[in-house]
Amino acid sequence: PISQEFPGTMSILEYNGGAVLAMTGKNCVAIATDTRLGMQAQTVACDFQKVFKMNDKLMLGVTGLATDVQTLSQLLKFRLNMYRMREEREIKPETFSALLTHILYERRFGPYFTEPVVAGLNEKNEPFVSAMDLLGAPVFTSDFVVSGTCTSNLYGMCETMYKPNMEPDELFETASQCLLASVDRDALSGWGAVVHVITPTGTISRKLKGRQD
């Protein structure tokens, strides 16, 4: 969220910019992010990865400070590999979400400046989404979660366009339009987008070309 009290100032969470949303459908879940890497007003790259595959049915989208996006995703990959070795099975999305909140809160007084979003399908192929703030306070919803520098825009778009039980194709369209419309009005997000739709049979990933400004 952009600081409203002191316009023109920037918090560390807005330094690099970014937006992510995750939306549930009928036995599927979509996660979409923009691909901008910026340094305040300057754009450095247009292909920065913010969504990471944790396993075939679980994806993690992270916004915030780019270095912590990369550190956190690498840390979680490591923890997930350890979990897989010990438990000899894949992690459930709910458990992964709990693990993530723990990892974030461990750093309560020197946090990772990230606001991650978890999207996945549980064993019954029911969709699961959750989001966290930088200290690990989670929110679990049944419809959609958002994070990044244009959350106000994203909330508005998602609330308007969301319908429950969408099929994967319709879900993709809805998620894409919500994201693109939201980041188009945000200076710090955009410059391309990527949308993943996780279904029981596989994940479909598509790159979107939006306004390149």
Summarize as ranges the residues that interact with another protein (CB under 8 A): 16, 37, 39, 42, 44-45, 47-48, 65-67, 69-71, 74, 110
Q: Smaller CB distance to another protein: residue 16 or 101?
A: 16
End-to-end CA distance of the chain: 20
Residue 16 CB, nearest approach to another protein (Å): 7
Least distance CB 48 / another protein (angstroms): 6
Which one, 81 or 142, has the nearer CB to another protein? 81
- Residue 174's region, left for phi above 0, alpha for psi from -120 to 50, else beta, is alpha
Q: Determine the Cα–Cα distance for residues 160 and 151; give it in Å rounded to an integer.
A: 14
Q: Which is nearer to another protein, 16 or 174 (CB)?
A: 16
Element holding 26 (H helix, E strand)? none
CB of 65 vs another protein, minimal distance in Å: 7
Toward another protein, which CB reaches closer, 112 or 144?
Answer: 112
CA distance 38 to 24: 29
DSSP 12: G
